[in-house]
Structure 1
Amino acid sequence: MKKRLISSYDEVSDTFVGKVDGQKGFCADFDISGGIFLGIDKNNFPNSIYVKNASEVLNIPKQILENSNVKIKINCDRICLHFNMSIEDLSICSVKCKNKFQIPYMNFEMDSNY
């Protein structure tokens, strides 16, 4: 499944936010890896991402975070959740964690250029 991503970065507060176009609100918000929060809807599908202190958490310069060409891939099975974020085809973050979030089996992509 592929959805259009709307992302923004606030340099002053060093906060990155991305959400699926057309989605409103979220049902739950999970810290999947030290400050990377994944929002899910009422059907347990990802619909947003939030990173406070983004340049520090993602260990990249603020100038890169200002780029709007963002792609987030989430692959999930009953055991693991794989989260990958890239900006301008540069891998920014790759996380593998236990799927304790009740997210169903999926191969999901949020792309700002979709």
Structure 2
Amino acid sequence: MKKRLISSYDEVNDTFVGKIDGKNGYCADFGISNGIYLGIDIFNFPTFVLVSHASEVLNISKQCLESDDVKIDIDCDENCLLFDMFVENSKICSVKCPNSFGIPNLKCLMDSNL
């Protein structure tokens, strides 16, 4: 499934937030990696991503994080969650972790260019 991503970066607090357009609120959020949090709705579908200390966690400059061209790819099955983040078509982050969050099998592309 493809969803429109609305992303913002707060340079002062070094925080990146990406949320699915039209989604408000969340049921729970989970730390999927050091500083990367995934919010889910009541149906256990991803609704937002928050990265604290983003430039450090993602090892990318603050100027790059201000880009409007952001994609987040989430591929999940009952065992594993794969999270990839791209800025201007360059992969800046890849996380693989156990799916202990109850997220159903899904492939979701959150794209700021939809």
TM-score band, normalised by shorter chain: over 0.9
Structure 1 Cα separation of the partners of residues 29 and 68 of structure 2: 23
Aligned equivalent of 1:42:
42
Q: Which amino acid aligns with 1:12?
A: V
Aligned to 1:113: 113
TM-score (norm 2): 0.99
Q: Which residue of 2 aligns with 1:64?
A: 64
Alignment-derived partner of residue 85 in structure 2: 85
Measure, in 2, the Cα distance between the counterparts of 1:88 and 1:96.
22
Query: Within 1, Cα distance between the matches of 2:75 and 2:103?
Result: 10
Q: Which portions of structure 1, spanning 4 or more consecutive aligned residues, are displaced by more than 6 angstroms?
A: none
TM-score, length basis structure 1: 0.99
CA distance in 1, matches of 2:11, 2:35: 17
Q: Deviations over 1:7-31 (max 9, x none)?
A: 0001111000000000000000000
- Partners of 2:66 and 2:53 in 1: CA distance: 14
Deviations 1:36-65, CA, capped at 9 Å, x for gaps: 000000000000000111001111110110
Aligned-pair CA distance for 1:68 = 1.0
* Percent of paired sites with the same residue: 64
SS in 2 for 1:4: strand
SS at match of 1:25: coil
How far apart, in 2, do the equivalents of 1:28 and 1:80 lie? 18
After superposition, give the CA deviation of every residue in 1:79-100 in whole Å (9 maximum; x if it has no partner).
Answer: 0000000000010100000000
Counterpart of 2:99 in structure 1 is 99
After TM superposition, give the deviation of residue 67 of structure 1 in Å. 0.3
- Residue aligned with 2:32, SS: strand
Give the superposed CA RMSD.
Answer: 0.4
Unaligned runs of 5+ in 2: none
Structure 1 unaligned residues grouped into runs of 5+: none
